[in-house]
Amino acid sequence: MLLPHSIWTVGAQVQIQLSMCGDCMFSLCLCGFPLTVQRHVFQMKWSELPLVCVEKDYYSLCEKQPIGRLLFRQFCDTRVELRRCVKFLDAVAEYEVTPDEKRKQLHQVSRSPGYLPHILIQALSLHLIDDIWQEVGFSSHFCPFFFLFGHRLIHDYLSVAPFADYLDSMYFNRFLQWKWLERQPVTKNTFRQYRVLGKGGFGEVCACQVRATGKMYACKKLEKKRIKKRKGESMALNEKQILEKVNSRFVVSLAYAYETKDALCLVLTLMNGGDLKFHIYHMGEAGFEEKRAIFYAAELCCGLEDLHRERIVYRDLKPENILLDDHGHIRISDLGLAVHVPDGQTIKGRVGTVGYMAPEVVKNERYTFSPDWWALGCLLYEMIEGQSPFQQRKKKIKREEVERLVREADEEYSSKFSEDARSLCKMLLVKDPSVRLGCQGGGASEVKAHSLFRSINFKRLEAGMLEAPFVPDPQAIYCKDVLDIEQFSTVKGVELEPKDSSFYSKVSTGSVPIPWQNEPADHRRFGALLAPRRVNFIERREPSAC
Please report, in range form, the residues annotated as the binding site: 229
Q: Is 23 a catalytic residue?
A: no
Residue 264 is inside which H or E element, if any? strand 263-269
3 state DSSP class of 263: strand
List of residues 6+ apart from 41 with CB closer than 8 A: 11, 14, 16, 30
Pairing mode of beta strands 204-210, 216-223:
antiparallel
Looking at the DSSP assignment, which residues form a beta bridge with residue 347? 367
Cα(34)–Cα(5) distance, rounded to whole angstroms? 15
Helices 370-385 and 290-309, interaxial angle, to 10°?
170
Cα(317)–Cα(321) distance, rounded to whole angstroms? 7
Q: Is 423 exposed, middle or buried (0-12, 13-18, 19+ CB in 10 A)?
A: middle
Closest by Cα among 413, 415, 378 to 293: 378
Is residue 384 a contact partner of residue 286, using CB atoms and an 8 Å limit?
no
3 state DSSP class of 530: helix
* Set 275, 316, 325, 372: catalytic member: 316
3 state DSSP class of 292: helix
Cα(188)–Cα(258) distance, rounded to whole angstroms? 8
Residue 374 has a CB neighbour count (10 Å cut-off) of 28
Is residue 208 a contact partner of residue 42, using CB atoms and an 8 Å limit?
no
Is residue 308 a contact partner of residue 210, using CB atoms and an 8 Å limit?
no
Would you name the residues annotated as active-site residues?
316
